[in-house]
């Protein structure tokens, strides 16, 4: 089982291409520097609302990542495009990854 971070946020539609272009560097920074990061999926809900689903090995790994915030260039570039965080939720998967 894994910890799941669900973050819904607002980015103006005219910045969507820039957001998508910034995503790979953010993911590389997470993979290189965030203990327990297992992967992520970005979902566009409407023209300007997005849902980021991030998988963590444990709640402690997620908490540590939140504490560190945007402390790497790729993460900072992605986060700087977000106008407003709408909600952040945490859950636990009910089956193993890949099931």
Residue 96 lies in a domain: no
Q: pLDDT tens across 28-47, in order?
A: 999 999 999 999 999 999 99
Residue 98 lies in a domain: no
Q: Tell me the residue range of the domain where 86 lies.
A: 3-91
Question: What mean pLDDT is reported for the chain?
Answer: 95
Q: Residue 57 has what pLDDT?
A: 96
Q: Other C-beta atoms within 10 Å of 32: how many?
A: 10
CA atoms within 13 A on the CB side of 61: 19
pTM of the model: 0.92
The count of structural domains within the chain is 1
Q: Residue 95 has what pLDDT?
A: 78
Mean pLDDT of 67-85: 97
Residue 99 lies in a domain: no
Alpha-carbon distance 49 to 42, whole Å? 11
Predicted confidence (pLDDT) at residue 98 exceeds the cutoff of 90: no
């Amino acid at each position: 089982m894994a910890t799941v971070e669900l973050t819904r946020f607002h980015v103006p539609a005219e910045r969507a291409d820039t957001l998508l272009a910034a995503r790979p560097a953010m993911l590389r920074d997470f993979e290189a520097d965030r203990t327990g990061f297992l992967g992520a999926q970005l979902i566009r809900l409407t023209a300007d609302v997005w849902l980021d689903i991030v998988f963590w090995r444990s709640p402690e790994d997620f908490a540590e990542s939140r504490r560190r915030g945007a402390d790497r260039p790729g993460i900072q570039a992605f986060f700087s495009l977000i106008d407003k965080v709408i909600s952040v939720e945490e859950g636990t998967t009910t089956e193993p990854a890949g099931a």
